[in-house]
A and B are shown apart, each in its own frame.
Chain A
């Protein structure tokens, strides 16, 4: 059977502290790894304060890179306007980073952007892993409040909240694992307990590397349908691409 074409559910464009990646370099890495499509979100200033520039970076990166856009909930009405602009430019989902953007997922200020994502039928990826603002269980609480929206645990609780994932995913049918930063044993636990439909392959470029994560998926020893789901079908379904 032919190898499934690969969709990367989580790449990052822009510049943040020691990480930097532009669309041309991401495309080069995708080609080298056999990745057909990447869903990218902004990082650095584009993620935290300058959303128009950050979102444009991921929305205008060409046909093989699809935009996972952001809007800081503290922007209020401006955030909703920015999301509307991004929808018109072809965005496929919402990305939030509560630690970097300074809010609790369960905080009232965040509710309008979740409502807007639900209205657009977008999945919502939320960076999880650092305690307090990026608590996996806080995301699960929000996901229960919006049961028709798919929520993706960005980075999968990496590093030290990974052990909350199996319970959170069991209790939250609309919560999906982004496997871009988490190790194979944790991914296997989720696949074994909840099935491959709950896992998205991601590259986390430029922090991680496609080669690392594709080998990680190989070592899981999945059957063909499970492998296809994680590498391709789940992302296609969830992002509508």
Chain B
């Protein structure tokens, strides 16, 4: 069973709570047989994205085959956010983009022009864009689906595939919008069966939301997936193949032209 975690967090703290270093994340991945994890900031959602993007890149650089950093920018910054996204996606290590409208305090509908510009940049770089979803007032599943409608060439991922209360709308929207996917991250086996049956096994990706300070969540989220009773082929798609297909391809290009 091969596993890539599409949704994890790596930072030095969350609010007042310190988070262990990347080595402990690697230990947790090893313990549960996870080949790699896509990692996002936490404190970067609260401000100063450029500094946090640089820090995330630095934290992952010792584990290039295991930790896949996603860039975060603040759409409220307008063109500066677009420029920051371009800057970060010039680094091939960044293989996706993460937004958390709830924590970042924006509704995409308020920032449609910037949102479209950002998603077009991501699409040009073939980087999937994951949005936290399932939480009013800024991150409802319907709000994120609208973003996918605005830029059909972008790959948009519902970060929690509906979370607690939006599972059924998420499943329908994933089915109906070709560029909308769902990260099964936090909801439960009964939800996964519905997401796969309605949205399609090719459009659901496993994620844990764990950070190095809470390895149990990784274990629980794997259990949520394996206990659903999916067919072996569908399970393989959800745990591994879909993420492998969706991630921005690895290239040798880096800023400054170095190999």
Contact = CB atoms under 8 A, between A and B. Distances in A.
B206 to A, nearest CB: 14
A209 B189 contact: yes
A229 B224 CA distance: 24
A17 B216 contact: no
Secondary structure type dominating chain B contacts: helix
Given A160-B163, A184-B220, A185-B216, A212 B189 contact: yes
A219 interface: yes
A41 to B, nearest CB: 16
Nearest to B229: A209
A212 B227 contact: yes
Secondary structure type dominating chain A contacts: loop
B90 interface: no
Size class of the contact patch on chain A: 20 to 34
A101 B135 CA distance: 20
Interface stretch (B44-52, B141-149, B164-172): B164-172
Nearest to A221: B216
B97 to A, nearest CB: 22
B134 A159 contact: yes
Interface string B214-228: 101101100110011
B160 interface: yes
A10 to B, nearest CB: 13
Given A184-B216, A212-B220, A159 B188 contact: no
Given A131-B136, A185-B214, A18 B188 contact: no
B188 A207 contact: yes
A155 to B, nearest CB: 8
A145 B86 CA distance: 56
A148 interface: no
A130 B189 contact: no
B190 interface: yes
Contacts of A181: 164, 188
A183 B223 contact: no
B194 A18 contact: yes
Interface in A119-149: 129-131
A158 interface: yes
Interface of B: 134-136, 160, 163-165, 167-168, 171, 186-191, 193-194, 197-198, 214, 216-217, 219-220, 223-224, 227-228
Q: 7 closest pairs, A vs B, by CB?
A: A18-B194, A159-B164, A207-B190, A208-B188, A209-B227, A212-B223, A184-B216
Given A18-B198, A19-B190, A207-B191, 11 more contacts: A18-B168, A18-B191, A18-B193, A18-B194, A131-B136, A160-B134, A208-B188, A208-B189, A209-B227, A215-B223, A219-B219
Interface of A: 17-19, 99, 129-131, 155, 158-160, 181, 183-185, 204, 206-209, 211-212, 215-216, 219
